[in-house]
Amino acid sequence: MASKRDDRALLVIDVQNDFCPGGSLAVDDGDAVVAVINALMPRFSRVVATQDWHPPNHVSFASRHPGRAVLDVVDAAGVPQVLWPDHCVQGTRGAELHPRLDARGIGLLLRKGMRPELDSYSAFLENDHRTDTGLRAWLSGVKVREVVVCGLATDYCVRSSALDARRLGFDVSLVQDACRGVDFPTGSVQKALAELKAAGVKLISSSDID
């Protein structure tokens, strides 16, 4: 059995039904991360999962913007906002964690994107880059120094969470085989990985974690 270091946390980003095959904003092969993440969780004494938890009138929904289409970009009070299909609406099946994800290993569930007028890709800061979700304080309070990130999607919420974790002073690794990306625009997954590497995020595989 691998050691469980108290100064290290696994951060599982948005492994929800709407981001998996059959969901309203499905990531190709998104459910393939579930088995990898389930195998990772027992190696960590601290596991945090995030959950997009949008109100029905959320600013990111294309349905809220007449004349606009999915993947258009609009200005949301000074913050660029990509428009998506309605997804992860509070209390719906689409917002639930994937049924095969072993929730018994999750010690903290953080819901984000709850404000109607502001999205939250990152687990640490909402998209205005000012509003703190509280995760930094929680991790610091339990003396976590290293964050290992996985989940959906590589080029959006995973990228933002890993970059913010680095900016906030954590050592960060990204488990590539436990992530999948949207790849919009085309090439955005590779661009995100290059950006993460340049920021000091270690790009690893699940087999690298002891």
Active site positions, annotated: 14, 112, 157
How do strand 79-82 and strand 73-76 relate by DSSP bridges?
A: antiparallel
Say if residues 175 and 36 touch (Cβ distance below 8 Å): yes
Sign of CA pseudo-dihedral 62, 51, 138, 153: negative
Say if residues 58 and 82 touch (Cβ distance below 8 Å): no
Question: Rounded to an integer, what distance in angstroms lies between the CA atom of residue 114 and that of residue 81?
Answer: 15
- At 87, the amino acid letter reads H
Question: Rounded to an integer, what distance in angstroms lies between the CA atom of residue 207 and that of residue 18?
Answer: 28
